[in-house]
Amino acid sequence: MRMTLELTKRQTARVIEQAIRGAARLEIEPRHRADAPPLVGILRSREENRLRVDLDPEQIDFEPAVLMGVFCEVRLTLLNEMYLFTSCILDFADLTDVRRLQLALPDTIQVANRRKFERTNATVASQIRIWPEGQTSASVGLLQNVSAIGLACILPSVELDDALLLGDRVRVNFELAGFDENFELPACVCNKALTPKKDQLTLGLEFAVPAEDDVAQHTLDRIRAALFEMMTGLSNLDG
C-alpha cells in the first residue's frame, strides 16, 4: 500500500528548488504509452512555468512528435523521499548534445511512502525558525522529525552552538508538510550535536508549554491533530 500527502504550493516550490540544485532524476510516464518504459532524465532548471529536463542519451525508444501536449505522470526521488506529480509535455528539442523536454510546472506535488506513513514525511520541505530566549532574530533550518512532544531539526550553520546550552528555552515556529499553516510554541533544548563536517547543527527540542498558556495549549492540540490525521491515513490512499 502506498500513501500520499499533497504538499502546499510553498512546499512544492521548495521541493522543486531542492531537486534542481541536486540535479535530481525524473521518471516520466506519458499516459499514451503507459506500458512502455518511462523516459528518464535530469531536472536542470525552472524557466517561469516550465521545467527543463535533459533526457539520458540512451532514451531512444520514443517518437518525439507524439509527445507534444501529452499528459504524464512523473516520479522524483530526493533525499530518500519519493515525490509524484502530474504534468504535460510542452516542448521537445533534439539538440546536438542532448534531447530535452519542457514540462509544465506542477501546481502541487505529492510525497509518497510505499509501506507506511512515517512521521518523517510530515517534515518534508518544512522550515523551522528558532528564537533563543532574549533574541529577536531567528535562525532558520529544516525539520528532521516531529512528534506530539517535540521535534528535531538541522540548522545550516553553527551560529547557535555556543549560544544554546542544554535546558535553554527557545521559541519555535514551524510548518508541517501538507498543512498551510505555521505552528509556534515554546520549547526546551534536549540535545544538540554538530554534523560530521562541523558545518551544521542538529537540535533536539521538547515542547515546553505552560499549563496556563491557553494559546500554546491550543497550538499543541492542533499539532497533535495534524499528526494524528497523517498517521491514521486520512490523507490520500493509492494502491
- Architecture of the domain spanning 119-238: Beta Barrel (2.40)
**Stated length of the chain:** 239
| pLDDT at residue 239 in the model | 41
What residue spans in the chain does CATH classification 2.30.110.10 cover? Answer: 2-113
Q: What is the pLDDT of residues 169-212, one digit of tens each?
A: 999 999 888 788 889 999 999 999 988 888 889 999 999 999 89
What residue spans in the chain does CATH classification 2.40.10.220 cover? Answer: 119-238
Q: How confident is the model at residue 234 (pLDDT cuts 50, 70, 90)?
A: very low
Q: What is the pLDDT of residues 140-149, one digit of tens each?
A: 988 888 888 9
| pLDDT at residue 110 in the model | 87
Q: Is the pLDDT of residue 129 over 90?
A: yes
> C-alpha cell of 126?
518544512
Report whether 128 contacts 173 (CB < 8 A).
Answer: yes
CATH of 2-113, one of 2.30.110.10, 3.20.20.100, 3.30.413.10, 2.40.50.140: 2.30.110.10
pTM score = 0.63
Q: What is the pLDDT of residues 44-90, one digit of tens each?
A: 999 889 999 999 887 666 666 678 888 999 999 887 788 999 999 99
Question: What does the angle CA 232 – CA 11 – CA 164 come to, to the nearest 5 degrees?
Answer: 90
Q: Which residue has the higher pLDDT, 41 or 228?
A: 41
For 9, 94, 103, 112, 129, the CA distances from 82, given in Å and listed in that order, are 17, 29, 18, 5, 25
